[in-house]
Amino acid sequence: MAPNLSDLLISISRRKNLVNQRLDFGDVCLVCDKSLSESMFFKQYHVCEHCNFHYTMDARQRINWISDPDTFQESDKLVYSADPLEFKTRLTYKKKLSGDSERTGLTEAAVTGVCEIGGVPAQLIVLDFGFMGGSMGCVVGEKVALALERSYKKKIACVAVITSGGNRFQEGVLSLMQMAKTVTVANQLKTKGIPFISILSNPSTGHTFASFPNLSDIILGEPGAMVGLQSLQVVRKESLDVLPDSANTSEFHLKHGMIDAVVERPKLKETVSNILDLLSSEYKISRKVNRSTRSTRKVSINKLNNNVWDIVQIARHDSRPTARGYIGKIITNFVEVHGDRYYGDDPTIITGVGYLGGQTVAIVGQEKHKTSPNETLKNAKTTPEGFRKVQRMVELASKFSLPLITLVDSSGPKLGIDSEERGLANTIATTISKMVNLESPSVSVIIGEGGSEAALPLIVTNKTLMLQNSILSVVSPEGAAEMIFQDPKKAKDVAESLKITAIDCYELGIIDKIVLEPSGGSHNNIDDAARILSREIIKELSMIQSLPKRKLVSERQKRFRNVGEYSSYFKQAIYNEVRYLKELVKR
């Protein structure tokens, strides 16, 4: 991990024999003391290639680095700060503004304009730490608000690069109110499905960080960047416990679910460009529906192996493909996003966007870490943070009208008092609610174990598929055996009664289609399994995504309203029973 800027400055101030020395960032790295004078890498990215420390870039350097050549057109360049409070100290506010303007060549801490990033038009907001610490006063707040409004009116993506610290106390409470102003305007981008990406550089603190950047669809952080409402020194002062080494860094916020990824500067433009491509794509999968497509499905079902215990073992096989394995095979340009923006990042839930058959889709997958000694990771036991990650992806799919694909493979939710304290039941219920009301097409696939409350929220979709050797259960066979026989070793004896196989779920009307697997299971030919799965998802998706939003929601609501009702399946079962009794009486 790259060093934190705050700790770096502290360490520099404590060095001996620095009083009369001149520090030149272009000669020697302040962190590792390696020479930078001949480094083309440093000159291009302002990153030490030896220790990976990311130095601050000014606004003009940022613009030249992230925008395509000769595409940036600056806006609101001649807006200057005044002195609304006539603030007076040893150095007047006006003189401070004048001095920073002369030194940086800027009129304020924010530079805004329209450019292209990887060929995609975008509104750019760049803050410069060299001008009043990048803090947000009235003019910065106004320039940011105008830029966000321009993004809204032109229907182009907005990208903000944050390098800001503290607050503009010289403008008093007027400075504080800029937080509300920028948040109010940023909210408008949600209504028109306009992508909003923020990049947190070193440092990203204070009023600016606690306003519009935290409303972004995707938040990226540079390595080692100081991130938080307050500086690390203040956090240390106010904290009773000893802080971890990574406290208030990008890495710390990634771990705690507040940002989506930590990306090194040389890869940032490519990452942003890829995200903009994905969220701006206008291509959709379509095909002519053949009415006879499903006419042979019952015939194929009758030929399937339905040895329940064999299927349970295959569903749990150590080599069975996981969600990440399938995503790597069937999704291109996949960008993974992290965190629930509330508490943490559940590693058993994979979320992101990518291309499926040339169309952008939102992906959610339950990921078993099969080699992990941790039982929760090994069996993909979903935590409250995991369900909130799912909700984030549902909201993203809704905002950008993206189809949602879910891959289900979990033994159940993570139980325990810690999960209860963080709202496990609430997150399950609210995830189901959001899935039911999603105004985008959704397709779910049970690829391994569908364990009770962990699986249910992810299969509340327009279409539900199930791999041939997968299971869906209200309780595991071992759990049922424990309750019935007080002996989990008798799981095999109760497995068939639970009706957990794909055939059972199809006949109960819970799933729409069984997806065949290579002989012996998907683990025997992962490439073939992924090809078959990709084809089936695309097929189902092409048949539902032309439906109006209201139709998608109403059909999904009706589907789950009618689950388990007195249907044709139960009528047939009763009819068979009556016929059997009549024949018995005749004898």
Q: Are 94 and 169 in contact (CB under 8 A)?
A: no
Residue carrying structure tokens 């603190």: 205
Lowest pLDDT segment from 11-20, 89-98, 267-276: 11-20
SS3 400: coil
**Count of CA atoms in the C-beta half-sphere (13 A) of 515:** 27
Strands 349-356 and 442-451, bridge-based pairing? unpaired
CA–CA distance, 381 with 48 (Å, rounded to integer): 40
Specify the pLDDT at position 13: 45
Could you report the per-residue pLDDT of 122-169, keeping only the tens digit for each? Answer: 999 999 999 999 999 999 999 999 999 999 999 999 999 999 987 888
Determine how β-strand 349-356 pairs with β-strand 120-127. unpaired
**356: nearest Cα among 281, 298, 291, 428:** 281
Residue 321: is its pLDDT beyond 60? yes
Residue 391 has, within 13 A of its CA and on its CB side, a CA count of 19
Is-contact 147 181, C-beta < 8 A?
A: no
Strand partners, 261: 220
Give the CA-trace dihedral at 196, 200, 203, 209, to 10 degrees.
40
pLDDT at 20: 39
Identify the CA nearest to 45 among candidates 59, 56, 29.
Answer: 56
What token pair was written down for 444? Answer: 């779910």
pLDDT for res 549? 94
Question: Does residue 197 surpass a pLDDT of 50?
Answer: yes
Going along the chain from its start, the domains and CATH numbers come out as 1-55 (no CATH), 57-279 (3.90.226.10), 290-574 (3.90.226.10)
Mean pLDDT of the chain, nearest integer? 88
Candidate from 25-29, 136-140, 212-216, 324-328 with smallest mean pLDDT:
25-29
Element (H, E) at 450: strand 442-451
The CA distance from 113 to 150, in Å, is 9
Indicate the pTM of the whole model: 0.89
DSSP H/E element including 336: strand 332-337
**Among the ranges given (240-244, 378-382, 440-444), the one the predictor scored with the smallest mean pLDDT:** 240-244
Helical pair 424-436 and 384-399, crossing angle rounded to 10 deg: 20
Do residues 364 and 395 touch, judged by C-beta distance below 8 A? no
Q: What six digits make up the tokens of 272?
A: 């942003």
Strands 196-205 and 227-228: parallel
Average of per-residue pLDDT across 413-436? 97
Cα–Cα–Cα angle for 141, 145, 146, rounded to 5 degrees: 120
295 has a pLDDT exceeding 50: no
As given in the structure block, the two tokens for residue 204 are: 């990203």
Element (H, E) at 187: none
pLDDT class of 515 with cuts at 50, 70, 90: very high
Buried b (16+ CB within 10 A) or exposed e, 62-101: bbebbbeeebbeeebeebebeeeeeeeeeeebeebbeebb
Distance CA 501, CA 306 (A): 7
Q: What is the pLDDT of residues 56-76, one digit of tens each?
A: 899 999 999 999 999 999 998
% of residues, the chain, pLDDT over 90: 71
